[in-house]
Structure 1
Amino acid sequence: MTPAIRSLSLAPLRRRARGLVVPALLVAAWQFASSGDAAHQYAFVPLQQVGAALVELARSGELATDLGASLRRTTLGLGFGVAFGLVFGAAMARSTLARKLGEPAFQALRYVPLLGLIPLLSLWAGTGEFAKVLIIALAAFYPMTTASFDGLRRVDPRYVELAQSYRLTRIGLWRDVLIPGALPDLFAGVLQAVPFAWITATSSELLFNAGAGVGSLMQNAQAGARADVLLVCVLGVTALAVGMSALCERIAQRALRWRDHA
């Protein structure tokens, strides 16, 4: 293997290694801060204590149950939000009437804090599963609507005119021209919606505090002054959110691979 080829093969590993520098420094700083007196250890829980809490929660099955509930809830809300956002954004992009009717209300509601709607939603939908999924779906709906609208508006009008000149059906126009042309923006919208969905899921579980979920586990840990359990919850949610984002990004790369050869 020549030096040039070896350098190219090691390039991805080097990029990943550089990405681990800051997390490693943060872990080292945390461990150093936790090595002080009792006050420091209360604020910065030693990593070995966090590890012990992780083992404790894993053995009891509590962590898997609550993480699984949050994952199902987030996935369901994300799916609904992405689907409705895709349809609503597409309607505004392709219909002048839909844009005139829907865009003013959409732009106004974008600036309303979602967490501020939780008390109102609790009056309408209670504090159960439906209310949590609804607020997660709203969090995913806004970025997906914007991505769908922008992506379809960016499709080159010449392609649409060419398809119409060949008398392509409406379904064929969407299947062969509009959706493929807007795919990069659509996947970008999904990738933007994932973190919003997870943030809102955890927040809604903390505020509603009903049923299984990481938020409920965090509430109990806060009441018991278990900072180690709180950190385990934060790390668990982070791992799930990063994993979901990585999966969506991988799917996007595979779906858009054809564009590299176009």
Structure 2
Amino acid sequence: MSMLLKRPPARIAIGLVVPVLILFWWQAQSQAGGARALAFVPLGSVATAFAELAGSGQLLDDALATLSRAVTGLLLGGIAGVTLGVVMATSRLVDRLVGPLYHAIRQVPLLGWLPLIGLWLGNGDGAKLLIVSLAAFYPTVLNSYEGITHVEKRYLDVGRIYGFTSVQRFRLILLPAALPLILTGVTQALAFAWIATIGTEILLGSGSGLGAAMGLAQAQQRMDVILVAILVTALLGFTLNDLFARLRGHLLRWQGASA
């Protein structure tokens, strides 16, 4: 909430125009009668469902389960991805050994791994976490690799002139120069991990989470509950992206100073 208060009022008002128009349109469709009344639940029913789920604590439990799964998968996949990308970029041998395998398996859609992972790990948290980690792994490997390999040669020449060791060259030259692309990979990984979390919860079904709540609500034909879960998913995803965008801006604040 504090982040929203820091935004200019005009910017907030402009950003609310389209959502408000959609709400008016949705409410009009819900009152049109016939098949539309079944497809478009009145906003009052959605508000009632939200109050019901929030009051029982189920909504909070599902939201925390999804957040925990997404953040854990992002950390596991992101750390592994950045590490592998950096090692591939700095070691020609590792790049030749691992690079072809990485580029081959990343062509397989994440949903294509579900049958195999389901046989290995079932449909519990382990399978969901593996899919989310893979979603975060792919973009961080690629962007970390590109970031290191595209460091300008003149920067490396300066390191040689000053007699930097390999560790100093990495810490003082390669990492700062590659950081913008590495963080771009983490930004992509965050989005992919969030989508993968919701997707696996819907498809695998078991356990708690916003995706699992959507799947259960679909089986029960509770459109109001589905909409509540979708809205909470959107708000949480937006908040996560906004927080990371602010962190990225803080870490790269030197770019503005050097421009």
TM-score, scaled relative to structure 2: 0.92
Stretches of structure 1 lacking an aligned partner (at least 5 in a row): 1-10
Aligned-residue offset at 1:187: 1.4
Out of 25, 29, 49, the position equivalent to 1:29 is: 25
| Offset at residue 38 of structure 1 (A) | 4.5
What is the rounded CA distance, in whole Å, between the counterparts of 1:191 and 1:84 in structure 2?
Answer: 15
Specify the code of the residue in structure 2 equivalent to 1:143: P
Q: Residue type of the partner of 1:225?
A: Q
Which amino acid counterpart does residue 223 of structure 1 have in structure 2? A
Of 55, 59, 63, which residue of structure 1 is paired with 2:55? 59
- SS of the residue 1:20 aligns to: helix
**Paired residue type of 1:160:** L
* Aligned partner of 1:253 among 238, 249, 254: 249
Partner in structure 1 of residue 46 of structure 2: 50
Deviations 1:167-211 (A, max 9, x none): 222222222111111111111111111121111111111122221
Q: Which amino acid aligns with 2:178?
A: A
Runs of 4+ in 1 over 4 A off after TM superposition: none
Match of 1:217 in 2: 213
Larger CA deviation: 246-255 vs 117-126: 117-126
2:89 corresponds to 1:84: no
Instruction: Measure, in 2, the Cα distance between the counterparts of 1:48 and 1:59.
Output: 16
Aligned to 2:228: 232
Q: Is the 8 A contact 1:221 1:230 kept in 2?
A: yes
Whole-Å Cα distance in 2 between the matches of residues 100 and 177 of structure 1? Answer: 24
Matching residue of 1:184 = 180
Q: 2:169 and 2:241 mapped to 1: Cα distance?
A: 30
The one-letter code sitting in structure 1 at the alignment partner of 2:234 is T
* Identity score, percent: 42
Correspondences of 1:21-170 after superposition (within 5 Å): 21-170=17-166
CA distance in 2, matches of 1:40, 1:195: 32
CA distance in 2, matches of 1:47, 1:160: 60
State the one-letter code of the partner of 2:194: W
Describe the SS at the equivalent of 2:188: helix
The farther-off stretch of 82-91 and 38-47 is 38-47
Displacement of 1:67 in angstroms is 0.8
CA offset at residue 24 of structure 1? 2.5
Q: Summarize deviations over 1:69-104 as a string: whole Å, max 9, x none.
A: 010010000111111110111122122222222222
Deviation at residue 16 of structure 1 after TM alignment: 4.0
In structure 2, the residue corresponding to 1:171 is in which secondary structure? Answer: helix
Is the counterpart of residue 173 in structure 1 residue 169 in structure 2?
A: yes
Contact 1:194 1:241 in 2 (8 A): no
Between stretches 194-203 and 53-62, larger displacement belongs to: 194-203
Q: Deviations over 1:131-178 (max 9, x none)?
A: 111100000111111111111122112112211332222222222111
Root-mean-square deviation (CA, aligned residues, Å) is 1.6
Range that drifts further, 62-71 or 25-34: 25-34
- CA distance in 1 between counterparts of 2:15 and 2:148 reads 34
Q: Distance in 2 between the 1:175 and 1:28 partners?
A: 54
Hey, what does 1:199 align to over in structure 2?
195
Q: Structure 1 length normalisation: TM-score?
A: 0.91
